[in-house]
Chains A and B, each alone.
Chain A
Amino acid sequence: MEALIEKLKEQIIKQLNLEDITPADINEEDSLFGEGLGLDSIDALELIVLLEKEYGIRIENPKDGQKIFFSIKTMAEFIQEHQKK
């Protein structure tokens, strides 16, 4: 799980071009949207593509997104449960 969280942090920084942010700056339990990392709806689309491209996981119900993308930790837990690759 630890390794997956670190990998996710790096992938998100790269995919979303989060300049000046290092994996150490991201707390795995902080919210990704709003006050936490400050991501927005376009980033949400980027994260959906990242999940499918890197982990082969497709989010069937968009309503689940809010729960899955709450934090790095919730994302990692979701990946661990559904990983196909």
Chain B
Amino acid sequence: MMLAPTYIDGSGAVVPQPTVNQDKFLEEILEYNERFLQVVSPVYKDYIDVKLLRRMSKIVKMSIVSAQVAMQQAGVDQVDAIMTGTGMGCQIDTEKFLNAMIENGETLLTPTSFIQSTHNTMGGQIALMLGNKNHNLTYVHRTFSFESALLDAMMMIAEKEAQKVLVGGIDEITDESWLIKTQIDYYKKHACKNSAVYTDLQPGALSGEGSAFFVLSADRSEKTYAQLKGVSTLYKPRSNKELEDFIKRFLMTNELGLSDIDLVIMGNNGDPVFDRIYEDLATGLFKTIPTGRFKHLCGEYDTASSFALWIASGILRHQYVPSTISQHPFDRKTPKKILIYNHFRNINHSLILVTTPDAS
């Protein structure tokens, strides 16, 4: 389904790399040798009143900062809707609340961690800070969470229910959740260098966390630097052919062929089993297109594709592909059309197409 033009006027991200208040666009990256990657915390007090700050857990703080950065960049102080996507929501406060329940025999529960433990806390807190009483929805669909929020935002714009929508994807990692997911080989058990994650042989992905928000607009303005052309998801393809057909069909719907794509950003996460799907595409369907990877920067999390969109729109804004994400030196003309392909353990596959504002 091809929707009405949706423009990107602003974006902000808080991830395990320095992205806030940076003049440079991913030119240098932080190297880690950790079990999981955690966000580089901005000076939260510069963005949030200290009285409010003390009740906020990390995920709420990073959401608010990335949303504020996106809105400042777009030059807006209000939006018609707020859409958030999160796979696991406020894990730190959920754990705090559940642990207190166990320790105190289901009595003496404090209100703050309960209030902050719901999945829609981020969307709610952003609305409270903006004094925004408009449409506010949170999608919790594991690795389709951000894509669902994005699609809903695009549909609201297409149906003229909203002119400007704030949309974001956020997830946080905790020791507890990391430990649980290492037991089922979702995440790597031992520390791993993020710069060498794609050749690490341990089962599972290098896990991480992050937040990325975008101001989408129905109209092109002087703030616009990218156009969001389409989002599509595929659940459990039965074969490589089904996956390839899904990609070709998506491009065809957007009146494009493979040769029109200047760069594919893929979601390799260092899992030796499931990265094969990306590798097969890189040497097969995408063999003539430059490819890039991004999860060595942020680790794997349910809404990591939001950071891929932040990178893609940043490439279109800055008009260059940072060597820190490209698999091979980018030797084409300036990129105009970027495809993001992400999958989660061959279950949830998603595509996001982003172009320069004037690209047809």
Contacts and interface: CB of A to CB of B under 8 A. Distances in A.
Interface string B41-54: 00000000011011
B109 A42 contact: no
B55 A49 contact: no
A53 B19 CA distance: 42
A17 B55 contact: yes
Given A42-B55, A42-B115, A53-B104, A19 B110 contact: no
B51 A42 contact: no
Nearest to B54: A17
Contacts of A42: 55, 111-112, 115
B110 A20 contact: no
B102 interface: no
A57 to B, nearest CB: 12
A18 B54 contact: yes
Contacts, number: 25
A19 B53 contact: yes
A42 B116 CA distance: 12
Nearest to A40: B51
A16 B113 CA distance: 11
B57 to A, nearest CB: 10
A46 B51 contact: no
A19 B50 contact: yes
Contacts of B111: 42, 45-46
B108 interface: yes
Nearest to B103: A53
Contacts of A20: 50
A38 interface: yes
A38 B108 contact: no
B294 to A, nearest CB: 33
B54 A19 contact: yes
Nearest to A42: B111
A19 B50 CA distance: 8
A49 B110 CA distance: 6
Contacts of B50: 19-20
Contact of B54 (A16, A45, A52): A16
6 contacts: A18-B54, A19-B53, A20-B50, A42-B55, A42-B112, A45-B110
Given A49-B108, A49-B110, 10 more contacts: A16-B54, A17-B54, A18-B54, A20-B50, A42-B115, A45-B110, A46-B110, A46-B111, A52-B108, A53-B104
Interface of A: 15-20, 38, 42, 45-46, 49, 52-53
